[in-house]
Amino acid sequence: MSRLIKYPIPDPQGALPGTQEPISIRQWQGLNTYDPYSISDSQLMDMSNMCTADYPALAVRPGYSVLGTFGSRILGMGAWKSELHIIANDGVWHKWNGSSWTTLLTGLDTSAEWTFTVFQGGEWDNINLIGVNGLVAKRYDGSTVVDLSGVPAGSKYITTYENRLWVAFGNEIRACAVDQPEQWSLFEGTDNDSYGKTIESTRGEDVNMLSGSLAKLTIGMPNSLHELYGGVPSSFVTKLITDNVGVLNNKSVSSQSGIMRIIDERSIYDYAGGNLPTQDFSDVVGGFLSQMDANGSAGSDPDLLYFRTHTSEIMVYDSRTGVGCWSRWTNIDPEFFLLLDDVMYIGDSSGRVLKLGASTDDAGTPISWHITTKPFTNPTMSQRQRWLKLWLYAEIPAGTTISVYLSTTKDGNDFDIVHTVSGPKTTADRIIIPVRSVVLENTVRIRINGNGPATIHEIVRQVRQLPLF
């Protein structure tokens, strides 16, 4: 009796055993500097000048226009109503009214940095913009810049809290009398008095930051944080919060939605006031935060946080996505950030005043950018793979060129170019990426370089899992 011979039924699609369904990445979640084999496919090992403004897609960061150039470095930025005020190392106080610059004061020091606050009260019927730089104290009343009288000599930092002006110099803080911005020596034993306090630290440091932005007075030193509570001199109490986290400088803090973010020499911290600062939200990009530049600065708008951490490098945090995405911007070197009427202005280290988001390029120069993915492997790294196909879905306007590179190492600089494409591709066009050079590689990273506006929607790969033996 003959036996029935059974043959395998062929796959109607002709797929080889182990061929996987296409793997799509279309929800980009920013940077991650943890172990690259362990991070999510949607996170990137490296990025320059891309952002999550079009989340879940990746887009080239906003460009800027140059409103003016003054000297070779901006020393301070402030705002009076809808006017932008800057002081540069040309020794001049300049005002921008939205269309032109006006000189308000000349002959200022050409190296001392300024801090600004606004105040209205007492004999001042109008709001005043007030600035100090450790040498002089000035106020702008809407028409002219004049001296602010009574301020203690050497005041470097100024802020507003509980209807008083507060300044710091050395390890002291001082406050004017309530609602009397030019009365700093009123001591009559009432709650309207002026106030002074020496801030002691375990390392004998000077105050280098003063902020009233958290409904309390926050006092920073290079290695500690302090808070002052209360509303009047009889109830003012100062408390040491931590002597393990400090502040780089007065411009390296920014508040958003009741939370202060602080750059210190090691990391970027969340600080809600009253509790210890935490760095949980920035740990994921810790690899970009080593050897922090002492000239760091910070800024915020309703959506983003900006941290200048190294020369010409800004780390940007976007909390709108619900997962918290970090981006890295380059080729901008801020000294100061200032949000005015929902527009971010930057005073940079070259003396320029930049208006962010006013262009898709940087003052006429196309923005160069790149992204680098994690190394893609099989779910089980010991199981080898065969690369079958790779696609990119992107919008590439006319004038933009992108190049795609592939690498076969975890983190080496061994990228080989495999494809170049130029716009216009104004819809999410499919771009086929050749994979012949990596067809049997078990580890593959993708790097995309571009010059000009672009939006990356999706990367899709299809691989075949080879037998595990």
Please tell me the least confidently modeled range out of 360-364, 426-430, 432-436. 426-430
**In the prediction, which pLDDT does 108 show?**
98
Q: Which two tokens stand for residue 437?
A: 């050079």
What is the reported pTM? Answer: 0.94
- Give the tens place of pLDDT for each residue, 183-200: 999 999 999 999 999 999
Say if CB 260 and CB 213 are below 8 A apart: yes
List pLDDT tens digits, range 24-62. 999 999 999 999 999 999 999 999 999 998 999 999 999
Q: What integer pLDDT is reported at residue 15 of this predicted model?
A: 62
Question: pLDDT tens, 108-143?
Answer: 999 999 999 999 988 898 999 999 999 999 999 999
Predicted confidence band of residue 70 (pLDDT cuts 50, 70, 90) = very high
Q: What is the CATH code of the structural domain delimited by 23-61+370-465?
A: 2.60.120.260
pLDDT at 453: 96
Q: Where are the domains of the chain?
A: 23-61+370-465, 64-367
CATH architecture of the domain covering 64-367? 7 Propeller (2.130)
Model confidence at 16, in pLDDT bands (50, 70, 90)?
A: confident
Residues 341, 63: Cα–Cα separation, whole Å: 18
pLDDT (tens digit per residue) in 370-395 = 999 999 998 888 889 999 999 999 99
pLDDT recorded at residue 469: 63
Residue 40, pLDDT score: 96
pLDDT of residue 12: 47
In the predicted structure, residue 5 carries a pLDDT above the cut 60: no
Average per-residue pLDDT for the chain: 94
